[in-house]
């Protein structure tokens, strides 16, 4: 069935370090892919999305490219900030009209000054 496998955390980085959080997926058809972020005490927020192969989603300095050949959607940021500390979730939507999201386990990122 459809699923998302996400890099286990926690990830701890110093400010201005490079971030990669790996995400791979299994899906039939043509899924859309998402990264959601959850800041402490808040709900999940959409960070970025990509709806077809080779699309690059980007927002707030974060980027992820939809790679169909490797079934991956890795999240990257060139220079993290303390304010990026949060839990990051990779997710897919099968692209049907129904909108059910399949989530990865989430990766806790902590950035130290």
Asked if 29 is part of the footprint of other proteins (rule: CB under 8 A), the reply reads no
Determine contact, residues 49/40, Cβ cutoff 8 Å: no
> How far apart are alpha carbons 80 and 19 in whole angstroms?
7
Residue 97 CA to chain centroid, in angstroms?
22
Determine contact, residues 61/85, Cβ cutoff 8 Å: no
Among 92, 107, 109, 111, interactor with other proteins by CB under 8 A: 92
- Chain residues 71-90 in contact with other proteins, contact rule CB under 8 A: 89
The pair of structure tokens assigned to 10 is 């926690």
Q: How many residues bind other proteins (CB under 8 A)?
A: 26
Among 45, 59, 79, 83, interactor with other proteins by CB under 8 A: 45
Give per-residue burial for 11-20: e unless 16+ CB within 10 Å, then b.
bebeeeeebe
Query: Which residue's CB is nearer to other proteins, number 18 or number 68?
Result: 68
Positive or negative CA dihedral for 25, 79, 111, 59? negative
Asked if 104 is part of the footprint of other proteins (rule: CB under 8 A), the reply reads yes
Among 10, 29, 43, 113, interactor with other proteins by CB under 8 A: 43
Query: Which residue's CB is nearer to other proteins, number 35 or number 111?
Result: 35
Instruction: Write out the residues near other proteins by the rule CB under 8 A.
Output: 32, 34, 36, 41-46, 49, 51, 89, 91-93, 96-106
């Amino acid at each position: 069935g459809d699923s998302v496998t996400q890099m286990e955390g926690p990830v701890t980085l110093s400010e201005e370090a490079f971030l990669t959080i790996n995400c791979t997926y299994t899906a039939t058809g043509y899924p859309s892919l998402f990264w959601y972020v959850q800041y402490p005490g808040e709900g999940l927020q959409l960070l970025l999305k990509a709806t077809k192969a080779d699309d690059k989603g980007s927002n707030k300095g974060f980027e992820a490219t939809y790679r169909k050949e490797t079934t991956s959607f890795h999240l990257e940021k060139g220079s993290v900030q303390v304010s990026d500390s949060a839990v990051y979730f990779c997710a897919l939507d099968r692209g049907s009209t129904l909108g059910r999201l399949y989530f990865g386990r989430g990766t806790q990122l902590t950035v130290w000054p």
